[in-house]
Copies of this chain bind each other. A is one copy, B any other.
Amino acid sequence: MRRTSARLADGREIVYFDLDDFRPDRHVRDPRDLGPVSTASEIRYDAVLDEWVTMASHRQSRTHLPPADECPLCPSKPGRQTEVPAPDYDVAVFENRFPSFATSLDQPVDSQPVSVADEIFARGPGLGRCEVVCYTSDHNAALSQLSPEHVALVVEAWVDRTRELSAVPHVEQVFCFENRGEEIGVTLAHPHGQIYAYPFVTPRTRRMLDSARRHRERTWRNLFADVLAAELADGSRVVTASEHWVAFVPSAARWPIEVHLYPRRQVPDLPALTDGERRDFARIYLQVLRAMDALYDQPLPYISAWHQAPVRIDRDLAYLHLQVFSVRRAANKLKYLAGSESGMGVFINDVTPEQAAGALRAVAPDSEVRR
């Protein structure tokens, strides 16, 4: 694996990850005449729900479903410069031109420090960083169609970015994820994921860690390890398992298709995985993604979300895992978040987790389940 860092015309960083050293030099100049990135993100505290919300009004004008011959994530060609100023690449990561969080902001948005007195309207600058991860230069491919070696290169990119972004000032949590499919609002078809480096610990992570803390106080054990052991003992929701990983549908799944991938040992984040665990993940993840695409014989829209420990706190409680889920509830029907889910946080799932796990096992390649 070779890593090359360069700069785009407006100063944003781009990092190339290549499968081997025999690739051409990636230090290609970006000849575009780009204005500076304009970012006015702000975070606001919701005192009623005790959560931060991000305001990013500059994102309203972001690129929306361009035709394939104007894809900004394809390699550049003579006469057509894209966001990637190279004639080819294996994996390329660059700072988002329309970021929700940025290391420097246009206007120092009301950046007085948050005081308890004005906590009802507390707000602060949307500091952090947002990156785009191009999985392959092939516009028509998908992560699920890449080789295990190529997916392992994507994992190395996530590891690298998690390590680097964890060191960026103000960053409290690094989130690697993929949105796939127009059904969930994806605005660029090129196979890619994203990374958000947040200036706070996210609401879901805080809730998970609160549960893990209570569980440890009561039992002295790790909650996630107990969940994994219980799923393995039960077995009815396990989709597939390998030397280092287990893929299961959680007992209380919220989505019609939802798979969690846990490593068999507790680690806080991606950089803590061994080489063997990373390579093994690439294989089992491909099994899961291919089973998901086989379910309805069409590419499944999905969200894939890496749950990593916060950068500074509760790293002993956290347990790295990947959550992959889909809004598709039948070949021709989607699940929508309506009143119960969006208004009250109560999920109604039309598919039982045991049904979902059975359906995925039936179509999973190499689906021998190892306990």
Q: Which A positions have Cβ atoms within 8 angstroms of B?
A: 44-57, 59-60, 64, 100, 120-121, 123, 175, 177-179, 184-186, 194, 196, 198, 202-205, 207-208, 210-212, 215, 223-224, 226-227, 230, 234, 250-254, 303-305, 323, 325, 329-330, 333-340, 342-353, 355
Interchain CB contact under 8 A, A340 and B100: yes
Please judge, given known A-B contacts A53-B253, A121-B234, A203-B346, whether A340 and B175 are in contact too, CB under 8 Å. Answer: yes
- A232–B120 CA distance with the chains assembled, in angstroms: 13
A226 pairs with B339, CB closer than 8 A: no
Instruction: Determine whether the beta carbon of A303 is less than 8 Å from that of B339.
Output: yes
B56 close to A348 (CB less than 8 A): yes
Q: If A338-B179, A349-B54 touch, does A343 touch B46 (CB 8 Å cutoff)?
A: no
- A227:B48 contact, CB within 8 angstroms: yes
**Beta-carbon contact of B52 and A346 below 8 Å:** yes
What residue in chain B is nearest A101 (Cβ atoms)?
B348
Q: Which residues of chain B have C-beta atoms less than 8 A from A338's C-beta? A: 179, 184-186, 303
- How many angstroms from the CA of A181 to the CA of B177 in the assembled complex? 29
A48 is contacted by which of B44, B223, B349 (Cβ under 8 Å)? B223
A-B contact pairs, 6 of them (CB 8 A): A47-B252, A53-B346, A55-B352, A185-B338, A196-B340, A323-B343
Q: Which of B121, B325, B342, B347 contacts A54 (CB 8 A)?
A: B347
Q: Which residues of chain B are within 8 angstroms of A210 by Cβ–Cβ distance?
A: 50
The reply to whether A349 and B55 contact each other, CB–CB distance below 8 Å, is: yes
CB within 8 A of A47: which of B198, B211, B345, B355? Answer: B211
A250: B residues at CB distance < 8 A = 46, 48
Q: Is the CB of A121 within 8 A of B175?
A: no
Query: Which residue of the partner chain, among B57, B185, B336, contacts A185 with CB atoms under 8 Å?
Result: B336
A115 to chain B, nearest CB (A): 14
- Interfacial chain B residues near A57, Cβ < 8 Å: 350-352, 355
Distance between Cα atoms of A335 and B337 in the complex (Å): 12
Cα A335 to Cα B64 with chains together (Å): 12
A55-B352, A57-B350, A202-B346 known; A226+B46 contact, CB < 8 A: no
Residues of B within 8 A of A227 (CB): 47-48, 120
B54 touches A343 (CB 8 A): no
CA distance A100 to B52 in the complex (A): 31
**Which listed residue, B48, B208, B347, touches A53 by the CB 8 Å rule?**
B347
Whether the Cβ atoms of B337 and A204 lie closer than 8 Å is no
A347 to chain B: which residues have CB within 8 Å? 53-54
Q: Please tell me if the beta carbons of B53 and A202 are within 8 angstroms of each other in the complex.
A: no
> Are the C-beta atoms of B177 and A343 separated by less than 8 Å?
yes
Chain B hits for A254, CB < 8 A: 46, 53
| Chain B nearest Cβ from A263, distance in angstroms | 16
Having A57-B351, A178-B339, A207-B345, one finds 5 other A-B pairs with CB under 8 Å, namely: A49-B208, A54-B346, A120-B227, A123-B251, A202-B346
> Smallest distance from the beta carbon of A52 to chain B beta carbons, Å?
7
Known contacts A57-B351, A208-B49; decide if A252 and B344 are in contact (CB<8 Å): no
Closest to A54 in B: B348
Q: Which residue of chain B has the shortest Cβ distance to A42 in the bound complex?
A: B352
Closest to A207 in B: B49
* In the bound complex, CA of A177 to CA of B337 (Å): 13
A49 CA to B60 CA, complexed, in Å = 32
